[in-house]
Amino acid sequence: MAAPQAIVIGCSAGGLTALETLFSALLPNLEQAIVVCCHTGSSTVELMCELLAQHATLPVVEASERAPLEGGVIHVAPSGYHLLVEATRRFALSVDERVSYARPSIDVLFDSAAEAYRDALIGVVLTGANSDGAHGLACVRSNGGLAIVQDPADAEAAAMPMAALEIAGADYCAPLAAIAPLLNRLCLP
């Protein structure tokens, strides 16, 4: 793959805790744009951004429509909308039907990001109790990007990483604690 320019992360059940662990260990000088799709029942992601920001070494903001993806910033998908990345590397939203019962859907984010970033993208699938993200991760890989999946045995909910491994496979399958160091190593020259 090329030098990574963006990281997309998908998670569901148990995701908030996993993200806190992950974001607390990322190096603050990472220059990649980071985009997160986490299924939540809540109607707002503002609270989630605040919670994550307390642990994160990088700024955490809600991804806003038409805005460019910013390096060194963690962008979180708003609830109730699919979050897509355009080829111009700006965000787009849609209220199209749910995918795998989810909106935002990890597949939708990963598919579009994979087409925008091709082989300069890292896809990460973490804990979750469904199969969203598996097809998206396959799309990341088929575009030359790199796939990281949380070890199902280490995940609070194993279904999502298992589905990802089964459908997409992975370049790295690692416990949560090892994923931030791995990203630091892959992303910093």
Partner 1 sequence: MNGPAHQAPLADADLLDIEVELFVRALKLRHGYDFSQYAPASLKRRILQLVQSQQTGTVSELTARLLHEPAFLAIALEGLSVPVSEMFRDPDVFRALREQVFPVLASYPQINIWQAGCAHGQEVYSLAILLEEAGLYERAQIYATDFNENALHHAQEGIYPAKEAQLWSRHYLAAGGSQSLADYYSARYELIKLDQRLRRHVIFANHNLVTDEVFCEAHLVLCRNVLIYFSDPLQDRTLALFRDSLVRGGFLCLGTRESLDFAPSATDFSAVNAALRIYRLGSRNPGTG
**Min dist. Cβ of residue 64 to partner 1 (A):** 6
For residues 32 and 112, which CB has a smaller minimum distance to partner 1 in the complex? 112
132 is catalytic: yes
Among 4, 15, 78, 123, binds partner 1 (CB under 8 A): 78
Among 5, 32, 112, 150, binds partner 1 (CB under 8 A): 112
For residues 46 and 171, which CB has a smaller minimum distance to partner 1 in the complex? 46
Whole-angstrom distance, CA of residue 89 vs CA of residue 86:
5
DSSP 152: G
Whole-angstrom distance, CA of residue 153 vs CA of residue 162:
9
**Min dist. Cβ of residue 147 to partner 1 (A):** 17
94 is catalytic: no
Binding mask 34-53 for partner 1 (x = CB under 8 A): --------------------
Cβ-in-10-Å burial (0-12, 13-18, 19+) of 63 comes to buried
Alpha-carbon torsion angle 80, 9, 54, 95, nearest 10: -10
12 is catalytic: yes
For residues 55 and 90, which CB has a smaller minimum distance to partner 1 in the complex? 90
Chain-centroid distance of CA 41 in Å reads 18
- How does DSSP assign 45-109, residue by residue? SHHHHHHHHHH-SS-EEE--TTPBP-TT-EEEPPTTSEEEE-TTSBEEEE-PPPBTTBSS-HHHH
- Of residues 127-166, which lie at the interface with partner 1 (CB under 8 A)? 143
For residues 73 and 158, which CB has a smaller minimum distance to partner 1 in the complex? 73
Query: Which positions touch partner 1 (CB under 8 A)?
Result: 64-67, 78, 80-82, 84-87, 92-97, 108, 111-112, 115-116, 118, 143
Catalytic residues: 12, 39, 132
